[in-house]
Structure 1
Amino acid sequence: MLSYFMAFVIGGALCLLAQLVMDLTKPEITPGHILVGYVTIGAILSAIGLYQPLVNLGGAGATVPLSGFGHLLAQGALEGMNKSGILGAFRGGVEAAAAGIAAAVVFGYVTAVLFTPKE
């Protein structure tokens, strides 16, 4: 039960921070800036070893937001580098995230086919 609570708190805090940044900096910071910033910050924190403790504490609350995607890319790149050298560093991030990327594409396509947007 505590793991659900911690996932809620960590994930909620990440979302709250993004919302505050967007609300307090209108119109300079857009959702696109938040997207790129969170992925980049997640990768940087992962590379210096600070994101994994957050994942251990918050579980899905830390891995599902965009910063978790950056963490996944960084960990994949590091693992690829250890296995295959410099080419593995480029390939590793995409390999680590391939299932999530494929699911997003498939579910996005199915949703676009099934539903029509409203104007």
Structure 2
Amino acid sequence: MSKLTVIAGDFPTGVGRFTIRNFTLPGDENHYLCETVSAQQVTSISKATEEFLLLLDTDEATKEYIETASRDQVFFMAKLEDKRRLIASTDQRTYIKIIKAVEKEANISPELTPTAA
């Protein structure tokens, strides 16, 4: 299981996980309930640039997190079948796992998806 951090979108912010083919995302403001989303539900996914991320309407702590992220940190945007979106960060190794799962489960090629989620 690999860690990811949701920083914006239609899901509460916070720490989530990615397993072989599922995202476990924060589900409520107290993070007691989580939501599991299959990689099969992803309709597009792409990397997000730091410039784009700093345009988001986020709190100062999130902006500082973005600015001080390590070189290994990858920010990405994903859109789901039900039109919900998320912007998250993870390490490079987990991002590659996510891309492979999306390619296999959702049968899309992330390199060909639109850059805006």
Q: Same fold (TM over 0.5)?
A: no
- Could you tell me the TM-score, scaled by structure 1's length? 0.24
Q: Name the larger-Rg structure.
A: 1
Relative to its length, the structure with more strand (as a share) is 2
